[in-house]
Protein backbone atom coordinates (compact mmCIF):
# COMPACT_ATOMS: atom_id res chain seq x y z
CA UNK A 1 0.00 0.00 0.00
CA UNK A 2 0.94 3.67 -0.12
CA UNK A 3 2.54 3.63 3.30
CA UNK A 4 4.91 0.86 2.20
CA UNK A 5 6.05 2.98 -0.70
CA UNK A 6 6.64 5.95 1.53
CA UNK A 7 8.78 3.90 3.90
CA UNK A 8 10.95 2.87 0.97
CA UNK A 9 13.64 0.40 1.97
CA UNK A 10 13.48 1.34 5.65
CA UNK A 11 12.18 -1.22 8.14
CA UNK A 12 10.51 1.55 10.17
CA UNK A 13 9.33 5.11 9.68
CA UNK A 14 11.24 6.12 12.77
CA UNK A 15 14.58 5.14 11.24
CA UNK A 16 13.69 6.87 7.99
CA UNK A 17 12.69 10.02 9.84
CA UNK A 18 15.89 10.02 11.90
CA UNK A 19 17.86 9.79 8.65
CA UNK A 20 15.90 12.65 7.11
CA UNK A 21 17.09 15.13 9.72
CA UNK A 22 20.08 16.55 7.78
CA UNK A 23 17.83 17.19 4.77
CA UNK A 24 15.18 18.76 6.98
CA UNK A 25 17.71 21.16 8.52
CA UNK A 26 18.91 22.16 5.04
CA UNK A 27 15.28 22.62 3.92
CA UNK A 28 14.64 24.89 6.86
CA UNK A 29 17.68 27.04 6.07
CA UNK A 30 16.44 27.42 2.48
CA UNK A 31 12.87 28.15 3.47
CA UNK A 32 13.91 30.83 5.93
CA UNK A 33 16.49 32.49 3.69
CA UNK A 34 15.90 35.78 1.93
CA UNK A 35 17.21 36.33 -1.59
CA UNK A 36 20.38 37.92 -0.23
CA UNK A 37 21.05 34.75 1.77
CA UNK A 38 20.28 36.17 5.20
CA UNK A 39 17.67 34.55 7.43
CA UNK A 40 14.20 36.06 7.45
CA UNK A 41 11.00 35.92 9.49
CA UNK A 42 7.73 37.68 8.61
CA UNK A 43 7.64 41.30 9.74
CA UNK A 44 4.41 40.87 11.72
CA UNK A 45 6.00 38.08 13.75
CA UNK A 46 9.09 40.19 14.37
CA UNK A 47 6.99 43.08 15.60
CA UNK A 48 5.04 40.76 17.92
CA UNK A 49 8.37 39.50 19.29
CA UNK A 50 9.58 43.08 19.68
CA UNK A 51 6.43 44.12 21.53
CA UNK A 52 6.53 41.21 23.96
CA UNK A 53 7.92 41.74 27.45
CA UNK A 54 7.75 37.98 28.07
CA UNK A 55 7.21 34.88 25.98
CA UNK A 56 5.19 31.89 27.14
CA UNK A 57 6.00 28.69 25.29
CA UNK A 58 3.19 26.13 25.54
CA UNK A 59 3.64 22.55 24.35
CA UNK A 60 3.39 18.85 25.19
CA UNK A 61 5.73 15.87 25.00
CA UNK A 62 8.66 16.20 22.64
CA UNK A 63 7.53 19.66 21.59
CA UNK A 64 7.75 20.74 25.25
CA UNK A 65 11.34 19.51 25.32
CA UNK A 66 12.06 21.58 22.21
CA UNK A 67 10.55 24.55 24.04
CA UNK A 68 13.02 24.16 26.92
CA UNK A 69 15.91 24.53 24.47
CA UNK A 70 14.04 27.28 22.60
CA UNK A 71 13.94 29.31 25.80
CA UNK A 72 17.73 29.32 25.85
CA UNK A 73 17.86 30.42 22.21
CA UNK A 74 15.36 33.25 22.68
CA UNK A 75 16.79 34.51 25.96
CA UNK A 76 20.35 34.53 24.64
CA UNK A 77 19.79 35.77 21.10
CA UNK A 78 16.69 37.97 21.43
CA UNK A 79 17.02 38.91 25.12
CA UNK A 80 13.35 38.32 25.90
CA UNK A 81 12.48 36.40 29.10
CA UNK A 82 10.78 33.08 28.35
CA UNK A 83 8.68 30.69 30.42
CA UNK A 84 8.04 27.16 29.14
CA UNK A 85 4.89 25.36 30.20
CA UNK A 86 3.27 21.97 29.73
CA UNK A 87 -0.04 22.68 28.04
CA UNK A 88 -2.12 20.25 30.12
CA UNK A 89 -1.15 22.12 33.30
CA UNK A 90 -1.27 25.67 32.07
CA UNK A 91 -5.04 26.04 31.79
CA UNK A 92 -5.78 25.65 35.50
CA UNK A 93 -2.37 26.67 36.72
CA UNK A 94 -1.89 29.88 34.82
CA UNK A 95 1.02 31.92 36.11
CA UNK A 96 0.67 35.62 36.72
CA UNK A 97 1.09 36.91 33.17
CA UNK A 98 3.33 39.82 32.25
CA UNK A 99 1.85 43.00 30.79
CA UNK A 100 2.65 42.20 27.18
CA UNK A 101 2.86 38.46 26.83
CA UNK A 102 3.37 36.63 23.53
CA UNK A 103 2.37 32.97 23.40
CA UNK A 104 4.28 30.49 21.29
CA UNK A 105 2.62 27.12 20.73
CA UNK A 106 4.95 24.38 19.57
CA UNK A 107 3.17 21.38 18.09
CA UNK A 108 4.28 18.94 15.42
CA UNK A 109 0.69 18.02 14.53
CA UNK A 110 -0.94 21.34 15.34
CA UNK A 111 -3.83 19.32 16.76
CA UNK A 112 -2.93 18.57 20.38
CA UNK A 113 -6.09 19.23 22.41
CA UNK A 114 -4.26 20.21 25.59
CA UNK A 115 -2.40 22.94 23.71
CA UNK A 116 -5.48 24.06 21.82
CA UNK A 117 -7.38 24.61 25.06
CA UNK A 118 -4.68 27.02 26.18
CA UNK A 119 -4.75 28.78 22.82
CA UNK A 120 -8.51 29.32 23.10
CA UNK A 121 -8.06 30.64 26.62
CA UNK A 122 -5.30 33.13 25.80
CA UNK A 123 -7.10 34.36 22.69
CA UNK A 124 -10.12 35.07 24.91
CA UNK A 125 -7.83 37.12 27.11
CA UNK A 126 -6.87 39.10 24.01
CA UNK A 127 -3.25 37.93 23.73
CA UNK A 128 -1.29 37.23 20.57
CA UNK A 129 -0.19 33.73 19.65
CA UNK A 130 2.33 32.21 17.27
CA UNK A 131 2.17 28.52 16.36
CA UNK A 132 5.26 26.60 15.29
CA UNK A 133 3.99 23.47 13.55
CA UNK A 134 4.74 20.92 10.89
CA UNK A 135 1.20 20.93 9.51
CA UNK A 136 -0.01 23.92 7.48
CA UNK A 137 -3.69 24.58 8.06
CA UNK A 138 -3.76 22.61 11.31
CA UNK A 139 -6.07 23.79 14.09
CA UNK A 140 -3.36 25.48 16.14
CA UNK A 141 -2.07 27.20 13.01
CA UNK A 142 -5.49 28.45 11.92
CA UNK A 143 -6.45 29.71 15.35
CA UNK A 144 -3.21 31.51 16.17
CA UNK A 145 -2.30 34.96 14.84
CA UNK A 146 0.91 33.76 13.21
CA UNK A 147 2.47 30.51 12.05
CA UNK A 148 6.00 29.30 11.43
CA UNK A 149 6.28 26.01 9.56
CA UNK A 150 8.78 23.24 10.23
CA UNK A 151 9.08 22.03 6.63
CA UNK A 152 9.98 18.58 7.97
CA UNK A 153 7.62 16.56 5.74
CA UNK A 154 5.04 14.17 7.26
CA UNK A 155 6.17 12.48 10.46
CA UNK A 156 4.53 9.07 10.70
CA UNK A 157 6.31 7.26 13.56
CA UNK A 158 4.60 7.97 16.87
CA UNK A 159 7.93 8.80 18.51
CA UNK A 160 8.85 12.25 17.25
CA UNK A 161 12.36 12.72 15.87
CA UNK A 162 12.76 15.02 12.88
CA UNK A 163 10.04 17.34 14.17
CA UNK A 164 12.09 17.94 17.33
CA UNK A 165 15.25 18.94 15.48
CA UNK A 166 13.17 21.00 13.04
CA UNK A 167 11.54 22.80 15.98
CA UNK A 168 14.99 23.59 17.37
CA UNK A 169 16.23 24.91 14.03
CA UNK A 170 13.17 27.14 13.56
CA UNK A 171 13.37 28.38 17.16
CA UNK A 172 17.04 29.28 16.67
CA UNK A 173 16.19 31.20 13.50
CA UNK A 174 13.27 32.97 15.19
CA UNK A 175 15.51 33.89 18.15
CA UNK A 176 18.34 35.24 16.08
CA UNK A 177 16.26 37.16 13.54
CA UNK A 178 14.14 38.65 16.36
CA UNK A 179 17.27 39.71 18.21
CA UNK A 180 18.73 41.21 15.07
CA UNK A 181 15.55 43.20 14.44
CA UNK A 182 16.07 44.72 17.89
CA UNK A 183 19.69 45.52 17.12
CA UNK A 184 21.14 42.58 19.06
CA UNK A 185 23.93 40.85 17.16
CA UNK A 186 24.83 37.28 18.09
CA UNK A 187 28.27 35.94 17.50
CA UNK A 188 26.85 33.07 15.47
CA UNK A 189 26.61 32.72 11.70
CA UNK A 190 23.45 30.66 11.87
CA UNK A 191 23.25 29.71 8.19
CA UNK A 192 26.79 28.40 8.30
CA UNK A 193 26.44 26.74 11.71
CA UNK A 194 23.17 25.00 10.80
CA UNK A 195 24.96 23.70 7.70
CA UNK A 196 27.64 22.27 9.98
CA UNK A 197 24.87 20.76 12.12
CA UNK A 198 23.37 19.06 9.04
CA UNK A 199 26.73 17.52 8.13
CA UNK A 200 27.28 16.39 11.72
CA UNK A 201 23.84 14.76 11.70
CA UNK A 202 24.82 12.90 8.55
CA UNK A 203 27.97 11.62 10.21
CA UNK A 204 25.91 10.39 13.17
CA UNK A 205 23.38 8.69 10.89
CA UNK A 206 26.34 6.92 9.27
CA UNK A 207 27.41 5.54 12.67
CA UNK A 208 24.33 3.43 13.30
CA UNK A 209 26.33 0.28 14.24
CA UNK A 210 27.83 2.23 17.14
CA UNK A 211 24.43 3.10 18.54
CA UNK A 212 23.11 -0.39 17.93
CA UNK A 213 25.99 -1.75 19.98
CA UNK A 214 25.47 0.82 22.75
CA UNK A 215 21.80 -0.20 22.89
CA UNK A 216 22.79 -3.86 23.03
CA UNK A 217 25.41 -3.33 25.69
CA UNK A 218 23.47 -1.06 28.02
CA UNK A 219 19.79 -1.56 27.39
CA UNK A 220 19.00 -5.11 26.28
CA UNK A 221 18.16 -6.45 29.73
CA UNK A 222 17.84 -3.47 32.05
CA UNK A 223 14.57 -2.39 33.66
CA UNK A 224 15.56 1.24 33.96
CA UNK A 225 17.98 3.84 32.66
CA UNK A 226 18.94 7.40 33.51
CA UNK A 227 19.98 10.30 31.32
CA UNK A 228 22.00 13.06 32.89
CA UNK A 229 23.34 16.37 31.69
CA UNK A 230 23.70 19.98 32.75
CA UNK A 231 22.32 23.06 31.02
CA UNK A 232 20.97 22.26 27.58
CA UNK A 233 22.36 18.72 27.85
CA UNK A 234 19.83 18.17 30.64
CA UNK A 235 16.97 19.14 28.31
CA UNK A 236 18.25 16.80 25.62
CA UNK A 237 18.47 14.07 28.25
CA UNK A 238 14.77 14.60 29.01
CA UNK A 239 14.01 14.03 25.32
CA UNK A 240 16.33 11.00 25.18
CA UNK A 241 14.56 9.45 28.15
CA UNK A 242 11.14 10.14 26.62
CA UNK A 243 12.22 8.43 23.37
CA UNK A 244 13.45 5.41 25.28
CA UNK A 245 10.36 4.98 27.42
CA UNK A 246 7.95 5.59 24.53
CA UNK A 247 9.25 2.84 22.30
CA UNK A 248 11.25 0.39 24.44
CA UNK A 249 9.13 0.58 27.64
CA UNK A 250 12.28 0.82 29.71
CA UNK A 251 11.63 3.08 32.68
CA UNK A 252 13.84 6.02 31.86
CA UNK A 253 14.31 9.40 33.50
CA UNK A 254 16.30 12.46 32.62
CA UNK A 255 17.95 14.38 35.42
CA UNK A 256 20.03 17.47 35.91
CA UNK A 257 23.49 16.21 36.87
CA UNK A 258 23.62 18.20 40.10
CA UNK A 259 20.15 17.11 41.21
CA UNK A 260 20.97 13.39 41.28
CA UNK A 261 22.42 13.54 44.76
CA UNK A 262 19.17 15.01 46.07
CA UNK A 263 17.28 11.77 45.68
CA UNK A 264 17.62 9.86 42.45
CA UNK A 265 21.05 8.51 43.29
CA UNK A 266 19.26 6.16 45.71
CA UNK A 267 18.05 4.24 42.65
CA UNK A 268 21.52 3.44 41.38
CA UNK A 269 22.35 -0.25 41.60
CA UNK A 270 25.04 -2.47 40.20
CA UNK A 271 24.84 -2.12 36.42
CA UNK A 272 22.23 0.68 36.20
CA UNK A 273 22.80 2.36 32.82
CA UNK A 274 23.55 6.06 32.97
CA UNK A 275 23.74 7.92 29.70
CA UNK A 276 25.56 11.18 30.27
CA UNK A 277 25.84 14.05 27.80
CA UNK A 278 28.94 16.24 27.89
CA UNK A 279 28.72 18.84 25.13
CA UNK A 280 29.10 22.01 27.18
CA UNK A 281 32.55 23.27 28.06
CA UNK A 282 31.53 25.20 31.17
CA UNK A 283 30.00 22.13 32.87
CA UNK A 284 32.23 19.45 31.39
CA UNK A 285 34.06 18.78 34.63
CA UNK A 286 31.00 18.92 36.83
CA UNK A 287 28.99 16.46 34.73
CA UNK A 288 31.96 14.11 34.82
CA UNK A 289 31.99 14.53 38.59
CA UNK A 290 28.36 13.37 38.62
CA UNK A 291 29.28 10.35 36.51
CA UNK A 292 31.98 9.45 39.06
CA UNK A 293 29.40 9.66 41.86
CA UNK A 294 27.13 7.13 40.18
CA UNK A 295 29.96 4.88 39.05
CA UNK A 296 31.08 4.68 42.68
CA UNK A 297 27.61 3.22 43.38
CA UNK A 298 27.88 0.63 40.63
CA UNK A 299 26.33 2.42 37.63
CA UNK A 300 27.31 1.51 34.10
CA UNK A 301 28.17 4.84 32.45
CA UNK A 302 27.85 5.68 28.77
CA UNK A 303 29.32 9.13 28.22
CA UNK A 304 28.51 10.86 24.96
CA UNK A 305 30.72 13.91 24.63
CA UNK A 306 31.61 16.39 21.93
CA UNK A 307 34.85 16.77 20.02
CA UNK A 308 37.18 19.02 21.95
CA UNK A 309 35.65 18.01 25.30
CA UNK A 310 36.20 14.27 25.09
CA UNK A 311 38.05 12.34 27.78
CA UNK A 312 39.35 8.84 28.08
CA UNK A 313 36.61 6.26 28.41
CA UNK A 314 33.90 8.25 26.61
CA UNK A 315 31.66 5.85 24.74
CA UNK A 316 30.95 8.10 21.79
CA UNK A 317 32.19 11.50 20.64
CA UNK A 318 29.87 13.64 18.49
CA UNK A 319 31.30 16.08 15.94
CA UNK A 320 31.83 19.62 17.11
CA UNK A 321 29.09 22.15 16.43
CA UNK A 322 28.39 25.61 17.89
CA UNK A 323 27.81 25.25 21.65
CA UNK A 324 24.25 26.62 21.45
CA UNK A 325 23.26 24.18 18.70
CA UNK A 326 24.46 20.94 20.30
CA UNK A 327 20.90 19.75 21.09
CA UNK A 328 20.26 19.38 17.35
CA UNK A 329 22.93 16.73 17.11
CA UNK A 330 23.31 15.25 20.60
CA UNK A 331 19.71 14.06 20.36
CA UNK A 332 20.49 11.91 17.28
CA UNK A 333 22.50 9.26 19.19
CA UNK A 334 19.73 9.15 21.80
CA UNK A 335 17.07 8.65 19.11
CA UNK A 336 19.09 5.85 17.54
CA UNK A 337 19.90 4.22 20.87
CA UNK A 338 16.17 4.23 21.73
CA UNK A 339 15.37 2.82 18.29
CA UNK A 340 17.78 -0.10 18.63
CA UNK A 341 16.81 -0.75 22.25
CA UNK A 342 13.19 -1.09 21.12
CA UNK A 343 14.22 -3.31 18.22
CA UNK A 344 16.31 -5.58 20.44
CA UNK A 345 13.36 -5.92 22.78
CA UNK A 346 10.98 -6.79 19.92
CA UNK A 347 8.83 -3.73 20.47
CA UNK A 348 6.60 -2.20 17.81
CA UNK A 349 8.87 0.77 17.06
CA UNK A 350 6.49 2.83 14.94
CA UNK A 351 3.32 2.11 16.90
CA UNK A 352 4.15 1.79 20.57
CA UNK A 353 1.41 0.57 22.89
CA UNK A 354 -0.96 3.09 24.52
CA UNK A 355 0.32 6.06 22.48
CA UNK A 356 -1.17 8.10 19.65
CA UNK A 357 0.64 10.33 17.21
CA UNK A 358 -1.60 13.23 17.93
CA UNK A 359 -3.75 13.40 21.01
CA UNK A 360 -6.96 15.25 20.29
CA UNK A 361 -8.62 14.55 23.63
CA UNK A 362 -7.98 16.28 26.95
Cβ nearer to ligand G6P, comparing 129 with 321: 129
| Closer by beta carbon to ligand G6P, 62 or else 300 | 62
* 8 Å CB contact between 208 and 215: no
Give the residue among 257, 220, 256, 227 at the shortest CA–CA distance from 241: 227
**Rule CB under 6 A: is residue 237 a binding residue for ligand G6P?**
no
Contact 150, 133 (CB under 8 A): yes
Position of minimal CB gap to ligand G6P: 61
**290 part of the interface to ligand G6P, by CB under 6 A:** no
* Alpha carbon of residue 9 to chain centroid: 26
Name the one range near ligand G6P by CB under 6 A: 35-43, 103-111, 172-180, 276-284: 103-111
Could you say whether residue 203 binds ligand G6P (CB under 6 A)? Answer: no
236: Cβ–Cβ under 8 A, 6 or more apart, which residues? 65, 69, 229, 277, 326, 327, 330, 331, 334
Q: How far is the CB of 115 from ligand G6P (least distance, A)?
A: 6
| 175 in Cβ contact with 76 (< 8 Å) | yes
CB closer to ligand G6P, 115 vs 290: 115
- Residue 62 makes contact with ligand G6P by CB under 6 A: yes
1-29 core/surface letters (b: 16 or more CB in 10 A; e: else): eeeeeebeeeebbbbbbbbbbbebbbbbb
CB-based contact 168:197 (threshold 8 Å): no
348 in contact with ligand G6P (CB under 6 A): no
φ, ψ for residue 292, nearest 5 deg: -60, -40
Minimal distance in Å, beta carbon 64 to ligand G6P? Answer: 7
Residue pair 342/214 in contact by the 8 Å Cβ criterion: no
Our finding on whether 108 is near ligand G6P (CB under 6 A) is yes
Our CB check for ligand G6P shows the closer of 98 and 358 to be 358
Site for ligand G6P in 115-174 (CB under 6 A): 115, 158, 160
| DSSP code at position 8 | T
From residue 1 to residue 20, the character string flagging contacts with ligand G6P as x (rule: CB under 6 A) and all else as - is --------------------
- What are the DSSP calls for 41-78, one per residue? --HHHHHHHHH-SEEEEEE-HHHHHHHHHHHHHHHHHT
User: What are the residue numbers of the active site?
Assistant: 357
Q: Are 140 and 112 in contact (CB under 8 A)?
A: yes
DSSP state of 282: G
Q: State the binding string over 20-59 for ligand G6P (x if CB under 6 A, else -).
A: ----------------------------------------
- Considering only 15, 29, 58, 60, the residue that binds ligand G6P (CB under 6 A) is 60
Give me the least distance between CB of 258 and ligand G6P, in Å please. 27
What's the closest the beta carbon of residue 239 comes to ligand G6P, in angstroms?
9
63 binds ligand G6P (CB under 6 A): yes
Q: How far is the CB of 185 from ligand G6P (least distance, A)?
A: 32
Give residues in contact with ligand G6P (CB under 6 A).
60-63, 107-109, 112, 115, 158, 160, 355, 357-359
Amino acid sequence: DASDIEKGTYPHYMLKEIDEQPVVVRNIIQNYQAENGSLKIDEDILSAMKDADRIYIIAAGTSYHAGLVGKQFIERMAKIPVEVHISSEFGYNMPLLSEKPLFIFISQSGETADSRQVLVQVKELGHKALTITNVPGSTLSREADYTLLLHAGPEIAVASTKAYTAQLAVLAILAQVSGRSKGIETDLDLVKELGIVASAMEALCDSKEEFESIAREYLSVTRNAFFIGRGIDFYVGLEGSLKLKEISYIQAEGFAGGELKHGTIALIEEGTPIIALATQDFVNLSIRGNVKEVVARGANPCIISMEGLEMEGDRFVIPEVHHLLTPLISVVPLQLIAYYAALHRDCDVDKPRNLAKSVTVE
